[in-house]
Amino acid sequence: MIYELSNPVTKTLVTHLRDQRRDAIRFRHTVAELTKQLVYEALKDFPLIEKEIVPWQGDGIFSTIDEENIVVVTVLRAGLPMLDSVMELLPNAVAGFLAMKRDETTHESKLYYDRLPDCKGKNILLVDPMVATGGSMNDALELIKTKKPKRIIALNIIGSPEGLEAVSSAHKDVDIYIAQIDERLDENKYIIPGLGDAGDRAYNTLE
Ligand code: PRP
Ligand code: URA
């Protein structure tokens, strides 16, 4: 299933991101804020476990998400601010890294780094701001599935209808939470209106 956030604050932050004048530090900060909104929505019905902690008064068993059973997988580079944001909310989660680069001629993604931790039986949060053709997400999902996770939830900021259809039809078992679904892809497979190249904007490599 695809869940698009509808909160006016979400729309406002996405509009900030689209603005070319948003510099790299504010771009990453806004991506991080949107990621927190996606996490709250995606985990709103997540099961809680009881955990013993040392409270200020007496003994205590309290409810918590089983953070250690969550693996947050990011797709470099543009996914990095999203990973940092999830790890701020769930500091005991485990982080995994994939690096992919879209070939800007063929528009196909190429994996060049894989540092996935043990995913067996774990809940995976896969974070990447952009779903353009959906190629990067599909490759990442295929790779993660070889590691036998329990469940995968994707968190994305912006996607094209074409890319989201490609991902959701190939991976019907994956829930996708996205801040905004845009209009379409252009002839270079960029999202319209989109926000440009998210990796370049986040890390000052725009030419
Ligand atoms: C961007 C983005 C996705 C991918 C989406 O990464 O972060 O991973 O493009 O495109 P797709 O749906 O057509 O595969 P990019 O390849 O530009 O790398 P970067 O994050 O290093 O800039
Ligand atoms: N990658 C991006 O960062 N933006 C797009 O519009 C397409 C791919």
The pLDDT assigned to 58 comes to 86
Sole residue written with tokens 């039986």: 121
**Mean pLDDT computed over 49-73:** 95
Q: Is 78 in the pocket of ligand 1 (CB under 6 A)?
A: yes
| Proximal ligand: closest to the CA of 106 | 1
The pLDDT assigned to 101 comes to 87
Q: Is 79 in the pocket of ligand 2 (CB under 6 A)?
A: no
| Proximal ligand: closest to the CA of 195 | 2
User: What is the pTM for the complete model shown?
Assistant: 0.97
Asked whether residue 104 carries a pLDDT value surpassing 90, the answer given is: no
Nearest CA to ligand 1 atom 22: 199
Distances (CA, A) of 101 to 81, 140, 199: 17, 12, 10
Question: Rounded to the nearest 5 degrees, what angle is found at the Cα of 182, between the Cα atoms of 176 and 185?
Answer: 105
Q: Is 194 in the pocket of ligand 1 (CB under 6 A)?
A: no
Asked whether residue 107 carries a pLDDT value surpassing 90, the answer given is: no
Q: Is 157 in the pocket of ligand 1 (CB under 6 A)?
A: no
Q: pLDDT band for 133, please (50, 70, 90 cuts).
A: very high
Q: Give residues with Cβ within 8 angstroms of 108, minimum separation 6.
A: 102, 135
Q: What percent of the chain has pLDDT over 70?
A: 100
Q: Is 81 in the pocket of ligand 1 (CB under 6 A)?
A: no
Asked whether residue 165 carries a pLDDT value surpassing 90, the answer given is: yes
Cα separation, 53 vs 172, whole angstroms? 38
Index of the ligand 2 atom closest to the CA of residue 194: 6
Residue-wise pLDDT for 83-103, tens only, equals 999 999 999 999 999 999 888
The domain spans of the chain are: 2-203
Of residues 138, 78, 77, the one with CA closest to residue 107 = 138
Q: Is 198 in the pocket of ligand 1 (CB under 6 A)?
A: yes
Helices (H), 49-94: 80-89
Q: Is 111 in the pocket of ligand 1 (CB under 6 A)?
A: no
**Mean pLDDT computed over 8-29:** 97
Asked whether residue 157 carries a pLDDT value surpassing 90, the answer given is: yes
Q: What percent of the chain has pLDDT over 90?
A: 94
From 130, 131, 197, 204, the mutation candidate for ligand 1 (largest count of ligand atoms within 8 A of CB) is 130
Cα separation, 206 vs 24, whole angstroms? 10
For domain 2-203, the CATH architecture is: 3-Layer(aba) Sandwich (3.40)
Q: Is 75 in the pocket of ligand 1 (CB under 6 A)?
A: yes
Nearest CA to ligand 2 atom 4: 197
